[in-house]
Structure 1
């Protein structure tokens, strides 16, 4: 069932990784390479296959929604300048991972029932089967489609002093910076 609105509250977020890509066919593979280390870092590699499949389907739909066709090899500058962006975000909650994909299309996602011989159109059916819940919401300049996948056991807690984006809230370690500078100075 499709639910409208953001599927989580900011205070429940443990980890966030996001990436902006050109809305081209290469975005699917690039986003897949981005998600693997994020899930490993979060100690959520056990849901990697499902997350990769759901995210690939959502990115593919976003590229299609952005109207991106197959580019010439190598693409011309004019072709590249006309492409929109697709934004992919992974959000780690206590017991789930949310995949969010933004695109420029205002069209909400629609489940399609296709025949056995059809070559496409099954993406959201797969998302619906794998996700605990999924939906979409309007975003500035387009929409976001999201899918929430259950995680068992729960994801580990974020270390104290670290923000959801993964950057520490405190300044850099002064002793480490001095050792790096000393190493650079001796190398010169």
Structure 2
């Protein structure tokens, strides 16, 4: 399933949390910690196991197509780091996990043999999610999966922001901040 936009309208969003990760082997683990905290904050721990499994599969695929970082980067390589982005969107009766990567190729379900060691990630996503798909973003794509909440999510407290960015905006690294950090470290050495 492929859509050109996220599977929700901005007015439906109750909560949003997002995280940018360097495309390394540890990205899936870091995303699980982030999502566990977000789900706890949202009082949605009942669906934690399914969300973490779906996110792990989507982040692993995103890291694979973005390119795993082979070694720690040098300072002059920081602006060219391959990043993946994880966003958790809370709706009234479900959550949406979105993972951005740099590839514009849509995800494809693979048919693998019983003895294959990999290739079943999107099949798991399909089984656990009520629906899933992808859409193009500036510089890549987002793959999303919507999972039903077992209880309605609480309302956002009055005055709390909806996450700052529009739902369809792709987050990106703050290159200016990275340059200032690098300049500060260069002068300190």
The one-character-per-residue Cα deviations of 1:105-158 (angstroms, maximum 9, x if unpaired) are 011000001001111100000000000000000000000000000012110101
Q: Structure 1 residue 137 and structure 2 residue 138: aligned?
A: no
Alignment length, in residue pairs?
162
CA distance in 1, matches of 2:29, 2:23: 12
Greater than 3 Å deviation, 4+ residue runs: 78-83
Gap regions ≥5 residues in structure 1: 167-188
* Superimposed CA distance per residue, residues 142-177 of structure 1 (whole angstroms, 9 cap, x where no aligned partner): 0000000001211010111111229xxxxxxxxxxx
- Structure 1 contact 24–83 (Cα < 8 Å) conserved: no
Matches within 5 A, 1:156-175: 156-165=154-163
Structure with max Cα Rg:
1
Q: What's the counterpart of residue 94 of structure 1?
A: 92
Matched residue, 2:183: none
Separation in structure 1 between the aligned mates of residue 114 and residue 75 of structure 2, nearest angstrom: 39
Shift of residue 80 of structure 1?
A: 6.1
Q: CA RMSD in A?
A: 1.7
Return the TM-score normalized by structure 2. Answer: 0.81
Secondary structure in structure 2 of the residue aligned to 1:18: strand
What's 1:35 paired with? 35
| Structure 2 portions without partners, runs of 5+ | 165-189
SS of the equivalent of 1:88 reads strand
